[in-house]
Amino acid sequence: MKRIVWSFFILTAAMALQAEDGHQLWLRYQPVNKAKVVTEASSPTISIAKQELETYYNGENVTLKLDATMPDDDGYRIEGSTISARRDAGLLYGAFALLRGQYGDSHPTFNLRLLNHWDNLDGSIERGYAGESIFEWFKLDEQLIRDYARANASIGINGSVLNNVNASPKILTTPYLKEVKKIADILRPYGIKVYLSINFASPMALGETKTADPLNKSVAKWWQKKAKEIYKLIPDFGGFLVKANSEGQPGPGDYNRTHADGANMLADALKPFNGIVMWRCFVYGANHKGEDRVKQAVSEFKPLDGLFRDNVILQTKNGPLDFQPREPYSPIFDQIKKTPNMVELQITQEYLGQSRHLVYLAPMWKEFFDYVSPSQLKGIAGVANIGKDRNWCGHHFSQANWYAFGRLAWNPDLSSNTIAEEWLELTFTNDKRFVDSMMRLMEMSREACVKYMMPLGLHHIFKFDHHYGPEPDGFIASYPLEWCPVYYHKANNDSIGFDRSHTGTNATSQYRKDIADMYDNIETCPEDLLLWFHRVPWTYKMKDGSTLWESLQFEYQLGVIMVETMQTTWHYKMRNFVDEQRWREVDERLADQLQNAREWRDVCLNYFGQFATKQ
Amino acid sequence: MKRIVWSFFILTAAMALQAEDGHQLWLRYQPVNKAKVVTEASSPTISIAKQELETYYNGENVTLKLDATMPDDDGYRIEGSTISARRDAGLLYGAFALLRGQYGDSHPTFNLRLLNHWDNLDGSIERGYAGESIFEWFKLDEQLIRDYARANASIGINGSVLNNVNASPKILTTPYLKEVKKIADILRPYGIKVYLSINFASPMALGETKTADPLNKSVAKWWQKKAKEIYKLIPDFGGFLVKANSEGQPGPGDYNRTHADGANMLADALKPFNGIVMWRCFVYGANHKGEDRVKQAVSEFKPLDGLFRDNVILQTKNGPLDFQPREPYSPIFDQIKKTPNMVELQITQEYLGQSRHLVYLAPMWKEFFDYVSPSQLKGIAGVANIGKDRNWCGHHFSQANWYAFGRLAWNPDLSSNTIAEEWLELTFTNDKRFVDSMMRLMEMSREACVKYMMPLGLHHIFKFDHHYGPEPDGFIASYPLEWCPVYYHKANNDSIGFDRSHTGTNATSQYRKDIADMYDNIETCPEDLLLWFHRVPWTYKMKDGSTLWESLQFEYQLGVIMVETMQTTWHYKMRNFVDEQRWREVDERLADQLQNAREWRDVCLNYFGQFATKQ
């Protein structure tokens, strides 16, 4: 009998362990139902703050206090057991901070802290690697959306663009807008506004106008009416995100109008309701077709600076190309001075191993802030890596990128290590033996990825379309040249790299003076961007005395060694700190990652070796 | 014509590069013939000091001064451009220090700083991996021996035992002694005394006595006469090194006499000439046969402590077993208190990859000094890694071990890193890019070796006889059990390791109290010696939370990763700092080392896995 009981116990324990699917993210507080929350204020948001604390806070009673003397932002102050804030949302953020054991004054650096979902209305997600969209139109899973809202609130995210920037006009139809309202109602108490990506040609596509010309009155009117409809349903609707005249999307250029014409027309429609327009600068192959792709955004938008309405923000990817493992920052942040800027980061790892590779992105984002001061930016957007996979992000460690995005959106001064530490402790265990090891591995993971994929400034030599593996010989005549890997590395028997210095496309000239000088001179250009800015002979002597070709081989090899270290450490050393399911799922992915890293190394070195060893 | 000249130039330059065979060791000063040396003293040793400085010193004139007020040792003082010393040798050491750019006062920690050559009279070398012996009897290469002497003098080595401890009686015959005299005459001006290993049964073996019983008068007389003969030829002869009653060598035990009886008889013979006897404690399988091998030396010698003449020194290997990649220190250094001790280190890498692996031994020797204070020791001996290979040591980086031995024999407080830095700069280049990288790799190389061969305290699972590869299943019934790998790891389905705690052989009790307690308790025993002292279940939880079996796999894997890092760095990054020949020879060896490291990992994990995964 004893034996049966014992077996049963083991079975139950094993099942409990197996049931750890990662769905809880970093929100693993056990209900203790200990603290009482005292507050004179009341609102749905404050109720959530109250409930979180009363359920999970393992300390004394807490007072929540609205304080109109505090700065008018989402910040909070935690003193003793009192949380004060100017806004309801501040109290909620303060509650989550207290649960994490963080005290003192804290104010967000960016007022706009948005997730961009590239979710299509059919449930698919562009560059999504974690299953289908959590926004299931006309059959919304409200609990799932509430869980999503809670997770966002816990890290300070205050806006969600619900749909893909390659937007379907249908999203603006009344049936969809009613669904959007439902989502907005769920998100609102968590301090999150909804935004929509719109198709610039929506009125025409929906058959309600004959043109989408922004200077056409019927068009402008249509948008004004649509705005009114939206705000009636969702009074705090955030605004529109627009991808126009880019990669086949319609835009004002179709009518020989400028981006400013287009953006301003929408801005005018939203203005009465305090809505904003986030206009994306990810534009190439349009007016400046044929120019070095990384220059086209500045060429397009710099002349328009000063012509935008005050509720337009230009949203630009961190780098001038397209979310590569390493890019220099986008020079638009140096050139656009009269229009507010937002940076668009990519949380989903399109070019960084997707949901198969453990790559912690915070070090990459911190690198961006080394060059672009947060004070220059009005907001920050992250292309979400969230899907309907039970663990939300496909890879358990990809959750860290969602978390890190939120934390950096709140405070970009946090170190990537600090954020990793917080996340590891909240998500797995606070056993220092685990946390210290994994912090180190997370911190090195992005550099490893750069090395085994595209070291020394190489870029965009990914396989066509899916962007997972290497395709250094990629060339398809029917594709735009700037989609082809060979265009970016230009390897031949003498040299490799893209000359963007003054002897080449002069892309360096788009940077502010000191940076432009640094990048332009091969001697001062950081070697990790060397082949981005310069065309370099295989025999070129690197600063460490090796030749370029030797260095390239070294980098690829070292990248693989770094993944071996990660895989070995997880496989042999981390099992006892982690539940079986999460350990196994991460372990399987690390084995894949190692295989893929080796593939990158071998394919690229074989390919480049054909040239490099010809001399 | 121009073209021909150019081709010729390239050819010559290439040949010059190829001619770099490593023979110059760390003595690569270019003759500048600049400084004049002023000195009132004169001797062959001072002439050498003078010549070194006048040829190579790139500074102002130098004064050499004998100073009778200085401590009576080989030390020196460099102040301004004056070198002072009590002894001639001190001036020579000072000259080499000045050439290295070292200033100030410096005195050797050990007065006896000896190389032990395990060279046989037929030219072969026991555990030699760099060609035949440099001591070519009856056809001595005097220049080679002079080069050898200069190299030793440059790092302060002041004695050489010329022949193998498994000694041929013939070395004491007159013809050989006349050759020894020639060698002594070459070494003398370099401050180096010669010593000989002797066969304890020499008089009997040579047919000149009927016994070798140390208490037999004719035997004692023979040795007295022999000593007289030796000192007539070599007035400053250093003394004898003796391996007795060990691994088949004859000794006093053959006549039921003690080691003290044997050593004292020889000591008496040498005493009138100020000669010493270095009596080796590397004894097992004799009086204490059947006892845990690592205990036998203490069992044998502790009862004799206090019974030795004052010109006897006990010479003991650093660890109690046999020069494994990692051993605890030998407890004899805790137990022998009335008799002077010397430590015997092994420079030749018998168990550390021989001349195929890059393994820098200084960190291992420093580890010994962490436990055994140099002040407890009268001298230090290193089993040489020198042979007739053009580069002396087989592996170019094995030269670093010769160098480090000399430097630590002079000053065991030097860090292994400092010594590596000195050696790299002298031997290759002082380009910091090279030196910094290679310092790091050298420093990690011994830990890598431990990991890929025998981590966590495993020991002696080498292939029989040649000791290069792994043989964890090694067992030969006709061999002594303590030569068999299975005896040392004792792996079965439950556990692995050798219980030397109080529940086992109690070898831990031979250590001084605090250390004994630490090793004896599995909780406090350093994990890198765990399986040396304890028998441990495969499922045992290590301090980092992993199981023993997981940790063992991790260590082997990490060892290989470390070699990959070394190999990759050298292969891709170091070529441009090093001449072609040395770069290539090291590169080939690193490729071998990587292959061998993988073999170690795979063979050992396959073998142990049979047990560990059975549960």
- For the segment B292-332, what is each residue's pLDDT rounded down to a tens digit? 999 999 999 999 999 999 999 999 999 999 999 999 999 99
Stretch B433-443: mean pLDDT, rounded?
98
> Nearest chain B Cα to A557, which residue?
B568
pLDDT number for residue B614: 82
d(CA A146, CA A189): 10
Select from A435, A544, A574 the residue whose CB has the most chain B CBs within 10 Å, as the one to mutate to test that interface. Answer: A544
Q: What pLDDT band is residue A354 in, cutting at 50, 70 and 90? A: very high
Task: For residue range B414-437, list pLDDT tens digits in order.
Answer: 999 999 999 999 999 999 999 999
- CB spacing of A545 vs B569 below 8 angstroms: no
Whether B291 is a known active-site residue: answer no
Look at residue A518 and tell me whether its pLDDT is greater than 70: yes
Cα of A3 to nearest chain B Cα, Å: 20
Task: For residue range A35-74, list pLDDT tens digits in order.
Answer: 999 999 999 999 999 999 999 999 999 999 999 999 999 9
Of B557, B564, B577, the CB nearest to A545: B577
What is the pLDDT of chain A when averaged over all its residues? 96
- CB spacing of B564 vs A568 below 8 angstroms: no
Task: For residue range B99-155, list pLDDT tens digits in order.
Answer: 999 999 999 999 999 999 999 999 999 999 999 999 999 999 999 999 999 999 999
Cα of B439 to nearest chain A Cα, Å: 15
Q: Which residue has the tokens 């050491």?
A: B93
Residue type, position A52, single letter: E
- One of B20, B74, B327, B350 is an active-site residue; which one? B350
> Which residues share a beta bridge with A198?
A242
- Judged by a CB distance cut-off of 8 A, whether residue B605 touches chain A is no
Stretch A86-99: mean pLDDT, rounded?
98
Backbone angles phi, psi at A125, to 5 degrees: -130, 125
CB B92 within 8 A of CB B45: yes
pLDDT number for residue B318: 98
d(CA A582, CA A562): 22
Of B545, B573, B575, the CB nearest to A431: B545
Stretch B362-385: mean pLDDT, rounded?
98
Stretch B23-47: mean pLDDT, rounded?
96
Look at residue B83 and tell me whether its pLDDT is greater than 60: yes
- CB spacing of A550 vs B573 below 8 angstroms: yes
Contacts of A554 in chain B (CB under 8 A): 568-569, 571-573
Of B553, B561, B569, the CB nearest to A564: B561
Q: What pLDDT band is residue B20 in, cutting at 50, 70 and 90? A: confident
Of B561, B571, B575, the CB nearest to A561: B561
- Judged by a CB distance cut-off of 8 A, whether residue B545 touches chain A is yes
pLDDT number for residue B16: 47
Task: For residue range A287-308, list pLDDT tens digits in order.
Answer: 999 999 999 999 999 999 999 9
Select from B456, B547, B568, B598 the residue whose CB has the most chain A CBs within 10 Å, as the one to mutate to test that interface. Answer: B568
Q: Residue B490: CB partners within 8 Å, gap ≥ 6?
A: B496, B497, B498, B535
Select from A451, A547, A568 the residue whose CB has the most chain B CBs within 10 Å, as the one to mutate to test that interface. Answer: A568
Task: For residue range A185-197, list pLDDT tens digits in order.
Answer: 999 999 999 999 9
CB B434 within 8 A of CB A545: yes
Residue type, position A475, single letter: F
- Judged by a CB distance cut-off of 8 A, whether residue A543 touches chain B is yes
Length of chain A in terms of residues written: 615
d(CA A521, CA A489): 19
Tokens of A425: 């402790």
Look at residue A18 and tell me whether its pLDDT is greater than 60: no
CA proximity to A359, closest of A304, A431, A319, A416: A416
- Judged by a CB distance cut-off of 8 A, whether residue A411 touches chain B is no
pLDDT number for residue B1: 44
Q: Which residue has the tokens 């959306």?
A: A145
d(CA B179, CA B163): 12
CB B238 within 8 A of CB B227: no
The Cα angle at residue B440 between residues B436 and B441, in degrees rounded to 5: 115
- Judged by a CB distance cut-off of 8 A, whether residue B588 touches chain A is no
CA proximity to A113, closest of A417, A405, A423: A405
pLDDT number for residue B169: 98
Look at residue A17 and tell me whether its pLDDT is greater than 90: no
- CB spacing of A573 vs B541 below 8 angstroms: no
Contacts of B557 in chain A (CB under 8 A): 564, 568, 572
Select from A538, A573, A601, A608 the residue whose CB has the most chain B CBs within 10 Å, as the one to mutate to test that interface. Answer: A573
d(CA B282, CA B317): 7
ipTM for this model: 0.90
Size of interface A-B (CB pairs under 8 A): 76
CB atoms within 10 A of CB A182: 15
- CB spacing of A577 vs B431 below 8 angstroms: no
Of B544, B561, B569, the CB nearest to A568: B561
Q: Residue A279: CB partners within 8 Å, gap ≥ 6?
A: A242, A244, A259, A262, A263, A308, A312, A313, A314, A315
Look at residue A2 and tell me whether its pLDDT is greater than 60: no
CB atoms within 10 A of CB B154: 23
- Judged by a CB distance cut-off of 8 A, whether residue B577 touches chain A is yes
Of A541, A557, A572, the CB nearest to B553: A572
Of A554, A564, A575, the CB nearest to B573: A554
Task: For residue range A205-257, list pLDDT tens digits in order.
Answer: 999 999 999 999 999 999 999 999 999 999 999 999 999 999 999 999 999 99
CA atoms within 13 A on the CB side of B489: 29
Q: What pTM does this model have?
A: 0.93
> Nearest chain A Cα to B563, which residue?
A561
Of A431, A561, A577, the CB nearest to B564: A561
d(CA B383, CA B460): 19
A63 to A103, B329, B397: CA distances (angstroms): 14, 62, 68
Q: What pLDDT band is residue B45 in, cutting at 50, 70 and 90? A: very high
> Nearest chain A Cα to B542, which residue?
A573
Look at residue A325 and tell me whether its pLDDT is greater than 60: yes
Look at residue B15 and tell me whether its pLDDT is greater than 60: no
pLDDT number for residue A495: 98
- Tell me the three state secondary structure of residue B115: strand
Q: What is the DSSP string of B365-413?
A: HHHHHHHS-GGGEEEEEEE----SSTTSSSSGGGHHHHHHHHHHHH-TT
Look at residue B559 and tell me whether its pLDDT is greater than 70: yes
pLDDT number for residue B7: 53
Q: Where are the beta strands (DSSP E) in A216-294?
A: 239-242, 276-280
pLDDT number for residue A13: 47
Cα of A372 to nearest chain B Cα, Å: 31
Contacts of B577 in chain A (CB under 8 A): 545
Q: How many helices, marked H, and strands, marked E, lie in chain A? A: 19, 15
- CB spacing of B550 vs A572 below 8 angstroms: yes
Of B553, B568, B576, the CB nearest to A554: B568
> Considering just the CA atoms, what is the radius of gyration of chain A in Å?
25
Whether A52 is a known active-site residue: answer no
CB B340 within 8 A of CB B112: no
Tokens of B101: 């750019």
- Judged by a CB distance cut-off of 8 A, whether residue A553 touches chain B is yes
Tokens of A497: 């790299």
- Burial (CB count within 10 angstroms: exposed 0-12, middle 13-18, buried 19+), residue B147: middle
Look at residue B18 and tell me whether its pLDDT is greater than 80: no
- CB spacing of B568 vs A551 below 8 angstroms: no
pLDDT number for residue A15: 46
For A:414-433, CB contacts with B below 8 A are 431, 433
Look at residue A414 and tell me whether its pLDDT is greater than 60: yes
- One of B236, B247, B367, B473 is an active-site residue; which one? B247
- One of A132, A136, A147, A247 is an active-site residue; which one? A247
> Which residues share a beta bridge with A195?
A161
Whether B247 is a known active-site residue: answer yes
Contacts of B543 in chain A (CB under 8 A): 433
Contacts of B571 in chain A (CB under 8 A): 554
Look at residue A7 and tell me whether its pLDDT is greater than 60: no
- CB spacing of A541 vs B568 below 8 angstroms: no
Contacts of A434 in chain B (CB under 8 A): 545
- CB spacing of A554 vs B569 below 8 angstroms: yes
pLDDT number for residue A286: 87
Contacts of B572 in chain A (CB under 8 A): 546, 550-551, 553-554, 557
B139 to B130, B133, B144, B183: CA distances (angstroms): 19, 12, 12, 11
CA proximity to B441, closest of B527, B347, B546, B357: B357
Handedness of CA B69, B70, B71, B73 (dihedral sign): negative
Helices (H), B454-541: 485-489, 513-520, 530-533
- CB spacing of B545 vs A572 below 8 angstroms: no
